[in-house]
A and B are shown apart, each in its own frame.
Chain A
Amino acid sequence: MKTRHILLLLTVALLTACRQAQVPAVFQQLQKEAPIYPDYAGVTIPVNIAPLNFELLLTADDAVARFSAVGHEIVCGGLKMCPDIDEWRALTAAATGKQIKVEVYAEKDGKWVSFMPFSIEVSPDSIDTWMSYRMISPSYVSYEELTINQRCLETFDEEVIVDNMLCTTESGGQCVNCHSYQQWNPERMQFHARQTHGGTLIAYDGHVEKVNMQHDSLLSAGVYPAWHPTEKLIAYSTNKTMQSFHTTDLNKIEVQDTESDLILYDVDRHEVRTIEQQPNELEIFPCWSPDGRWLYFCSAHFEYKTDSVSLEEMTLRAKEVKYNIYRKSFDAQTRLFGNRELVFAADSLGMSATLPRISPDGRWLLFTLGEWGCFHIWHHDADLWMMELSDSTSLNHQAEMINEKTVQPLDEANSDDTESYHSWSSNGRWVVFSSRRYDGNFTRPFFTHIDKDGHASKPFELPTADPDRHRQLLKSYNVPEFMKGPVKLSPQEVANALKTEGKPISYQSK
């Protein structure tokens, strides 16, 4: 008898716990939007994205959200709305090319209210299934735990590819940075490690190799990378970098180059040659065109008034450093580059352009534009701009181009705060970019849809299993890059490779 009672109680408790959330029958309709985080109202999403979990930012006893589209419906309860992943997939599949309607209800002291419903546009354009990024505190000089992670965009699965702590001892730390892939291929990857066990790790179709790119003829080892789309070549900038800190400006940190050049690394031959080494020019951020015939890059003209390179002068004249976008033709047969051609003269607008990235169809050039310098992640004014490339791209009439709308800010994606690093998806329909729109200090990845005319949609933040995660996380997402699949290397395999001696390079003058 006693056992039966206990079983009955357990069953009732279980049923209560599993109670299906229900939309209230009686409620007061409010004429205001639901205060939710992340802001998913009116965004466009790919059909294969993970559920857009969100939380209600108000004091309520209970809440319910209904996601509905063409005969499908998901009802979630609680202050955190986390649709079941299978139900979400069925819903987005049904709503492809249409909208999902989201109604949010909240209960306080027994009374229900309903907020204005919002919609989510489901694009039939799918997104690459994986993305990688570096998790880093928005720090200044110090670093401790740094990881390069990969995340499945269709689910919430997150894995670590590289963890610097595996190579860190109390006598020496390690910085890892600048992960990059050839054509979104996770089998062809590179990243750098600095300090303890420093070097560049290159993984290519199962072969993992550490390269020591330090050479007397180079300013530094390779820094910002760009894989050639078809050849086993990587263009790098080499930089003499310095850091300084604003006493009152909210931009807080500035990273500047006192000198920088461009080099080309041949993965098979372990050979480096100079691409650009012009006097009084600071070259940075190489990027190949999708056909591999052009190398785009940024360059700022800067003449030191003192006789030699001076850190102090560079700091004092920091705001004079304005980067333009250039390109050079490249012949893959001869491995020779042509002369530099100006693509976008940001300085003529009193601005500085960084991080050029060409869409996979070769039509659009996406870049970041800020007032000065190259470290735009800490510039609150930095925005994404898009330029339509054409055969007549030998252009320096920026004002005309802006009037003709061949160059324009990506207003739909930009915010009042920082937008910086960006990367195209392999189908060219999605861009992932770094944004500090929520608080100006911590970077989160956002995705925007780019239609065939180059128009962006309202971006959405990377969804997380716990929607509060990004509000608690004191780290930034750095260098978000799409991938067609996951990297198969384990962090331990990467660490073992890093602990080996780096293969030395040979240097060929230009």
Chain B
Amino acid sequence: MRVNRSLPYLFALLAALLLAVFEPDLLYTAEEHSLFLDTPFFLEQQMVRAGGLLTWAGCYLTQFFYYPLLGATILGLLWAFLVWIIRYTFDIKSPWLALFPVLCLLMTITTLGYWVYYLKLPGVLFDATLGTIVAMALVLLYRRLPDRYFLRPLLIALSTCITYPLFGFYGLWATLMMGIVAEHNRTKTQRLSAVVLALLSIIAVPLLCYHYVYHETNIVNIYWTALPVYSVQGARSFSYYTPYILLVVSICLMAVFMGHEVTKTRRTSVVVKVCRSVGALLTLTAVVVSWNRDANFHRELAMQRCIEKQAWEEVLSTVHKWKGEPTRAVCMMQNLALYRLGRTGDEIFMYPHGAARPNAPFPIQSVHTIGKQLYLQYGVVNYCYRWCMEDGVEYGWTVERLKLMAKCSLLNGEMAVAQRFLNLLKKTTFHRGWAKRYETFVHQPQFMMHDPELAPILPLLRTDDFLTSDQSQLEMFLIEQLISTPGNTREQRDLANFIMRYYRRNQHPLVEK
């Protein structure tokens, strides 16, 4: 019986560990596309909008995905705690029911796909989990407060004023649930006043904050702060909100039906059991079906990680791990690996080529995904720097961008600005060692000639300059660069010729939309 009781908690932990097993590259990429700096200024930058503390904490925890298993374990423990707090808050008899929100949280991660490059919300992988825990804790506090001295209405008003600035939407959600559980107050007046107060607080506090506290959020978005915005170029992808909607609705339903006991007859007992089983089955099916298993996406993530490690053979072996037509991003990375290994002419025909459309509900431009790394590896340093800056401005500063910008600055001989990026990376938990290693090149640039990553790029740096633009067309621009390099090598010519021939033969448009 005791084992049976603890099983849901183990399941919650297991759900997160599944991520470490099946999505280590996604978790690692999420960490690389996040940033946490151990400085008061970083906290200050997060606190300029409602939900700032939540995103700050989300960023803090995301950094542990540097070791995917460690990050997943932390996430799992939080989910297990969530199961416990949901049970305890709503007096749920069956702990399995409390697993449903956890599975919704799991789905917010497994459905991400290419959004990992495009979401602007810092710490997105942890935000929903932390926000839900905070909301539950507040409801629990509300329930445990003595029903006298106006303590409960006071908590409703106070908590909205405090938690909305700190936790954004989740603070409002907590207030809503307090309003719902107020149904269990003693008198009708108390119940009504709690509901009215909760609704007033939900409406008024964000408005007051908009007018007197914050200036970073458009009034149309004040009720949704700290939630991710699944939108690129103005087109929203509503289906990605499904796990969030299910999460909110399920917990609200638990609040509504809190304390409602089903009269136990043999018949109702069977009905309840059947309902639970069907519900569990449907939920698990939803989790499995919605899990993003796109081969190219996973191939791209794995290959990028290999490139970062300079494991070129591993880049090539990764290509064959998945089947199906590859995206141009996959092809470009495999071509780079062959180029680096000096085997373009001999082996490029042995690898799959294609132009499959990335599986995302919006156009993916490779300059935003793998483009920066490719520009760097081919020695087009200014354009790598440019896209790091563009993406940093639009999607936020990340470890990956800072590292690439530091490398670009070192290769360009801009040591002072390289030092700026390295100083920032020295304020991270897991990248300070990397930053200290690269800081050596600031003081002794000649050592770059012996660095396994930078040394092969140095001969590719050109001295001639053109004023131009890549128009976000990564591959076309790279070919131009390879062809126009004065005294280009056979390897460079082979690569450019092959790609041009590929496009002519397959009549693929060489233009990314």
Q: Which residues of A contact B (CB under 8 A)?
A: 137-145, 147, 160, 163, 165-172, 243-250, 252, 254, 315-316, 318, 438-442, 466, 468-469, 471-474, 491-492
Contacts and interface: CB of A to CB of B under 8 A. Distances in A.
Contacts of A254: 467
A440 B397 CA distance: 20
Contacts of B414: 250, 439-441
A139 B463 contact: no
Given A171-B231, A441-B417, A472-B427, 8 more contacts: A165-B215, A166-B219, A169-B220, A246-B382, A247-B466, A441-B420, A469-B41, A492-B215
Interface in B457-484: 461-470, 481
A442 B467 contact: no
Contacts of B120: 144
B216 interface: yes
Interface residues of B, number: 52
Interface in B201-257: 210-211, 215-221, 229, 231, 234, 236
B423 interface: yes
Contact of A248 (B229, B427, B461): B461
A173 to B, nearest CB: 9
B97 interface: no
Interface string B366-399: 0000000000000011110110011111100100
B215 A163 contact: yes
Do most interface residues of chain A lie in helix, strand or loop, or is the interface mixed?
loop
A141 B390 contact: yes
A143 B393 CA distance: 6
B284 to A, nearest CB: 33
Nearest to B423: A471
Given A166-B215, A168-B218, A247 B383 contact: yes
23 contacts: A138-B389, A139-B390, A141-B390, A142-B391, A144-B120, A163-B215, A165-B217, A168-B218, A171-B234, A243-B469, A244-B467, A245-B383, A246-B466, A247-B382, A247-B383, A250-B412, A439-B417, A441-B417, A466-B40, A466-B41, A471-B423, A472-B39, A473-B41
Contacts of B455: none
A472 B41 contact: yes
B419 interface: yes
A142 B232 CA distance: 13
A313 to B, nearest CB: 12
Contact of A245 (B40, B42, B386, B463): B386
A174 B397 CA distance: 20
A480 B212 CA distance: 26
B424 interface: yes
A374 B424 CA distance: 32
Contacts of A252: 382, 385-386
B210 A247 contact: no
Nearest to B418: A439
B277 to A, nearest CB: 40
Nearest to B484: A247
A471 B420 contact: yes
A63 B67 CA distance: 38
* Best-buried of A145, A248, A442, A468 by chain B (most CB within 10 Å): A248
Contact of B424 (A139, A243, A472): A472
Q: Which of A250, A471, A474, A491 has its CB near the most chain B CB atoms (within 10 A)?
A: A474
Given A137-B393, A248-B462, A169 B39 contact: no
A492 B213 CA distance: 10
B392 A137 contact: yes
Contacts of A466: 40-41
A394 to B, nearest CB: 36
Interface centre among B397, B416, B424, B463 (most CB of A within 10 A): B416
Contacts of A316: 467
A247 B468 contact: yes
Contacts of A318: 467
B348 interface: no
B116 interface: no
Contact of B215 (A244, A438, A468, A491): A491
Contacts of A166: 215-219
Contacts of A471: 420, 423
B391 to A, nearest CB: 8
